[in-house]
Amino acid sequence: MPSWLLYVLIGGLGGVASGLFGIGGGVIVVPALIYWAGFSQHQANGTSLAVLLPPIGVAATIEYYRHGHVNLPAAALIAASLLVGAWGGAVIANHLREAYLRLAFGVFVCVLGVYLIAGACRRLGWL
């Protein structure tokens, strides 16, 4: 598969996940860049951050705003905090060996998955 087609596929999957679930970068784009495109963990993280802001930040936000689902004061405070946190996280990540960074990412995704499944099961009355 040509690399440009692979990147379009990764972007499309990340975009659908972003619109549906509010996710995309860490859960779809980063693993796809690592396992499908052969990027290093650091390169996948950096590329994901570079591509997500314009398309998701603009298109999806406008659509949610049109339906009254954006709290602008909360978004502004979170965005300012996210700016500082993302910078700090990037500084830390760039000082870690790739294997440790990938391990931390995998643990994070697994813990998040268990938490989300348990919460859904509680809401459904299964737990």
| Structural domain contains residue 86 | no
Question: 46 and 102: one domain?
Answer: no
| Structural domain contains residue 93 | no
Question: 7 and 65: one domain?
Answer: yes
SS (H, E, C) the chain: CCHHHHHHHHHHHHHHHHHHHCCCHHHHHHHHHHHCCCCCHHHHHHHHHHHHHHHHHHHHHHHHHHCCCCCHHHHHHHHHHHHHHHHHHHHHHCCCCHHHHHHHHHHHHHHHHHHHHHHHHHHCCCC
Question: 112 and 55: one domain?
Answer: no
| Structural domain contains residue 78 | no
Give the structural domain span for 124: 98-127
| Structural domain contains residue 30 | yes
| Structural domain contains residue 44 | yes
Question: 64 and 108: one domain?
Answer: no
Across 83-96, b (16+ Cβ under 10 Å) vs e yields eeeeeeeeeebeee
pLDDT tens digit sequence for 22-45: 777 778 888 999 999 999 999 998
| Structural domain contains residue 18 | yes
Number of domains in the chain: 2
Token pair for residue 112?
């998040």
pLDDT tens digit sequence for 8-28: 999 888 888 877 777 777 788
Question: 55 and 12: one domain?
Answer: yes
Cβ atoms of residues 26 and 4 within 8 Å: no
Q: Alpha-carbon distance 60 to 57, whole Å?
A: 6
Q: How confident is the model at residue 68 (pLDDT cuts 50, 70, 90)?
A: very high
Q: How confident is the model at residue 53 (pLDDT cuts 50, 70, 90)?
A: confident
Question: 7 and 66: one domain?
Answer: yes
- What are the φ and ψ backbone dihedral angles of 46, each rounded to 5 degrees? -65, -40
